[in-house]
Chain A
Amino acid sequence: MDKEYVGFAALPNQLHRKSVKKGFDFTLMVAGESGLGKSTLINSLFLTNLYEDRQVPEARARLTQTLTIERRGVEIEEGGIKVKLTLVDTPGFGDSVDCSDCWLPVVRFIEEQFEQYLRDESGLNRKNIQDSRVHCCLYFISPFGRGLRPLDVAFLRAVHEKVNIIPVIGKADALMPKETQALKQKIREQLQEEEINIYQFPDCDSDEDEDFKRQDAEMKESIPFAVVGSCEVVRDGGTRPVRGRCYSWGTVEVENPHHCDFLNLRRMLVQTHLQDLKEVTHDLLYEGYRARCLQSLARPGARDRASRSKLSRQSATEIPLPMLPLADTEKLIREKDEELRRMQEMLEKMQAQMQQNQAQGEQSDAL
């Protein structure tokens, strides 16, 4: 059938041009106990020296240190595209002798960003909303353990419904290939046992060629990524300059897929899934937070009674409510409820229509 060319196939290009002009925001959180090579890996991933002026306090100072949240921003430009990258660091995590509840400040931080966005979204000036929500959390697991430690499990369970988690094994040059496989297997089993939802890399399109599909499957199989980071350029024994770590028994090459999964991580995180991470954060995680928040707001009487009794028991995990004036909130809720109802009705109508069409089509085929 001859169709006249309308021209909306050019839409993706238009979007691309617009986003190039607008630039791209991304917030990446890095978490895990100290000494697992987090800073080095970030520097390697983004070819920056974000942690140049960093000072690691000595053990005695860390005895009474509480967890802090640090934010660092950097603008990276490549191929005409500007990325404003914000790195969220959690120094002090897992350091103390007693790490009970040390993940709470992190959870609170993530939710504060959601809260801020909710407020902005419901406000009057929506043109320039700054998206400071955490789009991805790279969680570093120690290569020296036998899988996830109790602290790892506690942290992951506290944040997995609030942020995209990509688990990573740091300093992977401590492991022989068999050990790496066994550790990855153990971690995957533990994640399943503890019902922790990590970020699921979406399946590639069914019309891709077999090679690409195989590559994609291999990359997914290598999660958690076993990484090694380095910003030093060394000679690999021959004459090639490579980024790596020089030992007396050989040189680990960061970008060698036989040595570690750095390339996989970089490809999947930076080159192909930045946008998807943002979308999942917005469509799934943020919406989940918003729904929970507004639902609890919708029953103010019940909420107050419940919250009062909760407070009297323990208030450590109380989620702060967005501070909107009550009248406005109720109006908002009613408006959104109306919208939801209308949308649902439309969906149902469309579904019924589709079913009708399908039935008709089958009839006409049979004839």
Chain B
Amino acid sequence: MSKGLPETRTDAAMSELVPEPRPKPAVPMKPVSINPNLLGYIGIDTIIEQMRKKTMKTGFDFNIMVVGQSGLGKSTLVNTLFKSQVSRKASSWNREEKIPKTVEIKAIGHVIEEGGVKMKLTVIDTPGFGDQINNENCWEPIEKYINEQYEKFLKEEVNIARKKRIPDTRVHCCLYFISPTGHSLRPLDLEFMKHLSKVVNIIPVIAKADTMTLEEKSEFKQRVRKELEVNGIEFYPQKEFDEDLEDKTENDKIRESMPFAVVGSDKEYQVNGKRVLGRKTPWGIIEVENLNHCEFALLRDFVIRTHLQDLKEVTHNIHYETYRAKRLNDNGGLPPVSVDTEESHDSNP
């Protein structure tokens, strides 16, 4: 995705580029120059290193939303993904957690650091989704929230005096939790993904997958993929945004194994002399990071280690641009320039 940068990128997004970490070359590369008489090393390949240093200084934002019925392990999974208590966990049985009557949107931010890189992670929880007797249109508050973040960003973008780095609260990734019924998607799952796959990157996951045998898992996944296809729902990584053959081959493999069947846990157990995250049952210990047990490791590598940047870029270049274009069309022009009312009061006593 870093190859085809459109010209309309803002400076803000530029500074957040984190290219794939590459080992520094031991020996300066031989110049492949047009002029055969020019010998010597220019050093433009150090741009990668310079960008990396800048990113480490400024850090970057990542906003992940989790959607699904209560009790599917959403908070536990996010905590397991980022190896910290980043999501408010309502799974403590002693607490009097009442299911909210309408869908609420709760965003919690944390700064986590690894290898000198700072990430401001925001987890957006959606308690109340799918829990009522009547769940008609329960996705609307979620769609509204996502569009509000696009609107916020748009307002900052069209300001005359723009901030150096526009705070990015847009939802980069929406993890949708499918209940492991073993039959097929539920009508609510279809409705949600139909409405939201056009505004945000949706990554469907099969929650609490430790109730399905290997056979049941693969049959269920096949059925889910087919249902999504039949209903024209494109989950991330969307086929239409594959840039080149390399992308396509890599993403095809991923698409074929989605939705990932995951298990989350915040408890550690001793297995073969190692401490592992897992769930202990009378018939065995389920190891979260063991690929023979579940696909948590695949999900983590996918979302964090290989496609984190791509998720942000698709959000910015595609979903946000779609929103922006629609707003410009609807308004017949740019939205009104917002002058911060408090600032103007200060400067005009």
Interface residues, chain A, CB within 8 Å of chain B? 34-36, 56, 58-60, 62-63, 95-100, 142-146, 149-151, 154, 171, 173-174, 176-177, 182-183, 185-186, 245-253, 256, 258-259
Contact = CB atoms under 8 A, between A and B. Distances in A.
Interface of B: 69-73, 90-91, 93, 97, 99, 131-136, 179-191, 207-208, 210-211, 213-214, 223, 227, 230-231, 279-287, 292-293
Contacts of B213: 245-247
Nearest to B209: A174
B185 A186 contact: no
B293 A97 contact: no
Closest 4 CB pairs of A and B: A35-B181, A250-B284, A249-B284, A250-B283
Contacts of B71: 142, 144-146
B211 A171 contact: yes
B134 A56 contact: no
Contacts of A256: 282
A186 B93 contact: yes
B134 A58 contact: no
Contacts of A97: 134-136, 187-188, 191
A58 B227 contact: yes
A233 to B, nearest CB: 14
Given A249-B293, A252-B283, A174 B211 contact: yes
Contacts of B180: 35, 144, 174
Given A142-B71, A144-B71, A247-B284, A149 B131 contact: yes
Contacts of B135: 97-99
B211 A173 contact: yes
Nearest to A150: B133
**Interface class of chain B by DSSP:** loop
A146 B70 contact: yes
Given A59-B186, A245-B213, A144 B69 contact: yes
Given A60-B227, A143-B211, 8 more contacts: A59-B227, A97-B135, A146-B70, A247-B213, A250-B281, A252-B283, A259-B282, A259-B283
Contact of B286 (A149, A186, A249): A249
Contacts of A58: 184-185, 223, 227
Contacts of B190: 59-60, 63
Given A176-B280, A247-B284, A259-B282, A35 B72 contact: no
A332 B99 CA distance: 50
Nearest to A171: B211
Contacts of B293: 248-249
A109 B179 CA distance: 29
Nearest to A247: B213
A34 B99 contact: no
26 contacts: A35-B181, A36-B181, A60-B187, A62-B187, A63-B191, A97-B188, A98-B133, A98-B136, A144-B72, A144-B179, A144-B180, A145-B71, A146-B97, A149-B99, A150-B133, A174-B208, A176-B279, A183-B93, A246-B213, A248-B292, A249-B283, A249-B284, A250-B281, A251-B283, A251-B284, A259-B282
A258 B211 contact: no
A67 to B, nearest CB: 13
Nearest to A258: B282
A145 B97 CA distance: 12
